[in-house]
Amino acid sequence: MKQTSLFTCLTFFVLFTFSSNAQEIGLNFNHNPENIDLKYVAQTGVKWVRTTPRILDYVDGALHVKNDPGIKMVVASGKSGYEIAFGFRWDFKRRALRLPEPNTDREALYFKTVDSILDQVGQYVKIFKLGNEPNLETMEVDMQYNSHHEIPLVIFTNRLFEHVFAYYKKHPEWKMPEFYTGSLPALFEKRWQENPGVLELIQYTQTNKQITGLAVHLHIADTADIPQALTFVRRIMPSKPIIVPEFSLWRLYNKQFNSYIKDSGTGAAFLKKYKLPKNMKVHEFLTLVNDKKIPPSQFYEMFISQNWYPDHYLNIYRRYYQTYGVTLATYPLFQQGYSKVVTPKSQSWFLNPIFMNKSYGTNKQGEYEKNPLSYEDFMNWVRNTY
241 and 109 within one domain: yes
In a domain, 339, yes or no: no
Residue 100 sits in the same domain as residue 214: yes
Alpha carbons 154 and 138: distance in angstroms, whole number: 11
Do 195 and 100 share a structural domain?
Answer: yes
The answer as to whether 348 is a domain residue is: no
Same domain, 218 and 280: no
Establish if 381 belongs to a structural domain: no
Per-residue pLDDT of the chain (386 residues; tens, 9 = 90+): 333 344 444 454 454 455 445 689 999 999 999 999 999 999 999 999 999 999 999 999 999 999 999 999 999 999 999 999 999 999 999 999 999 999 999 999 999 999 999 999 999 999 999 999 999 999 999 999 999 999 999 999 999 999 999 999 999 999 999 999 999 999 999 999 999 999 999 999 999 999 999 999 999 999 999 999 999 999 999 999 999 999 999 999 999 999 999 999 999 999 999 999 999 999 999 999 999 999 999 999 999 999 999 999 999 999 999 999 999 999 999 998 889 999 999 999 999 999 999 999 999 999 999 999 999 999 999 999 87
Are 155 and 69 in a shared domain? yes
151 domain residue, yes or no: yes
| Owning domain of residue 279 | 260-304
**pTM of this prediction?**
0.93
Please write down the HEC assignment for all residues of the chain: CHHHHHHHHHHHHHHHHHCCCCCEEEEECCCCHHHCCHHHHHHHCCCEEEECCEHHHHHHCCCCHHHCHHHHHHHHHHHCCCEEEEECECCCHHHCCCCCCCCCHHHHHHHHHHHHHHHHHHHHEEEEECCCCHHHHCCHHHHCCCCCCCCHHHHHHHHHHHHHHHHHHCCCCCCCCEEEEEEEECCCCHHHHCCHHHHHHHHHHHHCCCCCEEEEEEECCCCCHHHHHHHHHHHHCCCCCEEEEEEECHHHHHHHCCCEHHHCCCHHHHHHHCCCCCCCEHHHHHHHHHCCCCCHHHHHHHHHCCCCCCCCHHHHHHHHHHHHCEEEEEEECCCCCCCCCCCCCCCCHHHCCCECCCCCCECCCCCECECCCCHHHHHHHHHCCC
| Separation of alpha carbons 167 and 176, rounded Å | 10
Residues 278 and 239 in one domain: no
Give φ, ψ of 8 to 5 degrees: -65, -45
Asked if residue 6 belongs to a domain, the reply is: no
Distance, in Å, from the CA atom of 281 to the CA atom of 284, rounded to the nearest integer, reads 5
- The CATH number of the domain where 161 resides is what? 3.20.20.80
pLDDT in tens, 225-245: 999 999 999 999 999 999 999
Based on the fold, state whether residues 235 and 273 are members of the same structural domain: no
Task: With respect to residue 155, please indicate whether it lies within any of the assigned structural domains.
Answer: yes
The per-residue pLDDT for range 17-45, each reduced to its tens digit, is 554 456 899 999 999 999 999 999 999 99
Total of domains in the chain: 2
The answer to whether residues 185 and 250 belong to one domain is yes
Quote the pLDDT of residue 1. 35
* Residue 332: strand pairing partners: 28
- How far apart are the C-alpha atoms of 22 and 289, rounded to whole Å? 36
The answer on 126 and 177 residing in a single domain is yes
- Inside any domain, residue 5: no
Instruction: Assess whether 182 and 268 both reside in one domain.
Output: no
Q: Which tens digits make up the pLDDT trace of 47-78?
A: 999 999 999 999 999 999 999 999 999 999 99
The span from the CA of 8 to the CA of 188, in Å, is: 18
Residue 2's pLDDT is 37
Q: Is omega for the bond preceding 183 within 30 degrees of 0, making it cis?
A: yes
| CA–CA gap between residue 347 and residue 336 (Å, rounded) | 10
Residue 322, in any domain of the structure: no
Quick one: 221 and 134 in the same domain? yes
CB count in 10 Å sphere of residue 8:
10
The pLDDT value recorded for residue 17 is 52
The β-bridge partners of 28 are 50, 332
Say if residue 124 is in the same domain as residue 180.
yes
